[in-house]
């Protein structure tokens, strides 16, 4: 266990996992907890991950995967009824936070049903409200939410582009410094796409804002 470091959880959801990307990404990553969500269990097992918990109603997991999963005695099963108020990925986020994890990385959250994909983006804010910093990753995108300002360093970016979209009806007082398209105390609202596809103009750039919540997407072609 790493001393005095934030506990990290990996959540494998049931969307498009992109196993080549996931395998390459996970080579140099360490997690304190690995959670497979419903049909995401297959992807987790195919990647050879040591799953700590399997969460969901498992209505979309195939019987062979479930049988293989039950052969792993170390997996803790959290089985829920299909008729419930939460999505399976939401339950997984709750499980990770209850286990003390404060950094959550979610793979397989995109590429399937759009309602689930959009809901998973909203879960990033749910995680933030629970005190966790959550991100959704795939081969082209890293998605987070901002409840306060952030500094971006070129060497740490997921890709060339950085986009900001309001999650609240309005986000007030946005200031962008070090970006190709700067802003000063600009208010934005849901609808227009003013802050899509910005780029760093320096090795370091920053965003600050006075009020609201933003979705941040770092992306590459």
Q: Among 30-34, 36-40, 56-60, 159-163, which is the least confidently predicted range?
A: 56-60
Instruction: Give the per-residue pLDDT at 172.
Output: 98
Q: Which tokens sit at 19?
A: 């196993």
109 within 8 A of 15, measured Cβ to Cβ: yes
99 within 8 A of 5, measured Cβ to Cβ: no
Q: Which tokens sit at 61?
A: 């997991």
Domains of the chain as residue ranges with CATH: 8-139 (3.40.50.10240), 145-219 (2.60.120.320)
Distances (CA, A) of 182 to 127, 177, 202, 209, 211: 29, 6, 12, 13, 18
Residue 100 has pLDDT above 60, yes or no: yes
Mean pLDDT across 31-55: 94
56-88: pLDDT as tens digits: 888 887 888 878 878 888 899 988 888 888 999
Give pTM, 2 decimals.
Answer: 0.93
| pLDDT more than 70, % of the chain | 98
Burial annotation 69-101 (CB, 10 A radius, 16+ → b, else e): beeeeebeeeeeeeeeeebbbbbbbbbbbeeeb
Instruction: Give the per-residue pLDDT at 87.
Output: 93
Instruction: Give the per-residue pLDDT at 121.
Output: 97
At residue 4 the predicted structure's pLDDT band, cuts being 50, 70 and 90, is low
103-124: pLDDT as tens digits: 999 999 998 889 999 999 999 9
Sheet holding 183-189, edge to edge: 150-153, 204-208, 170-177, 183-189
Distances (CA, A) of 4 to 8, 26, 28, 159: 12, 22, 20, 30
């Amino acid at each position: 266990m790493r001393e005095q470091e934030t506990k990290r959880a990996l959540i494998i959801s049931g969307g498009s996992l992109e196993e080549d990307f996931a395998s390459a990404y996970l080579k140099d990553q360490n997690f304190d907890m690995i959670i497979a969500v419903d049909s995401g269990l297959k992807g987790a097992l195919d990647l050879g991950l040591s799953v700590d918990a399997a969460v969901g109603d498992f209505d979309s997991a195939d019987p062979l995967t479930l049988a293989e999963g039950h052969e792993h005695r170390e997996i803790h099963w959290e089985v829920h009824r299909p008729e419930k108020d939460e999505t399976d990925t939401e339950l997984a986020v709750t499980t990770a936070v209850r286990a003390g994890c404060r950094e959550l990385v979610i793979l397989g959250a995109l590429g399937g049903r759009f309602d689930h994909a959009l809901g998973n983006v909203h879960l990033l804010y749910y995680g933030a409200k629970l005190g966790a910093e959550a991100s959704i990753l795939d081969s082209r995108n890293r998605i987070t939410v901002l409840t306060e300002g952030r500094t971006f360093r070129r060497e740490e970016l997921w890709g060339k582009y950085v986009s900001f979209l309001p999650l609240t009806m309005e986000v007030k007082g946005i200031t962008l410094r070090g970006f190709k398209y700067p802003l000063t105390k600009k208010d934005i609202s849901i609808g227009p796409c003013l802050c899509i596809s910005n780029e760093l103009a320096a090795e370091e750039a920053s965003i600050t804002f006075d009020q609201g919540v933003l979705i941040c997407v770092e992306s590459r072609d």
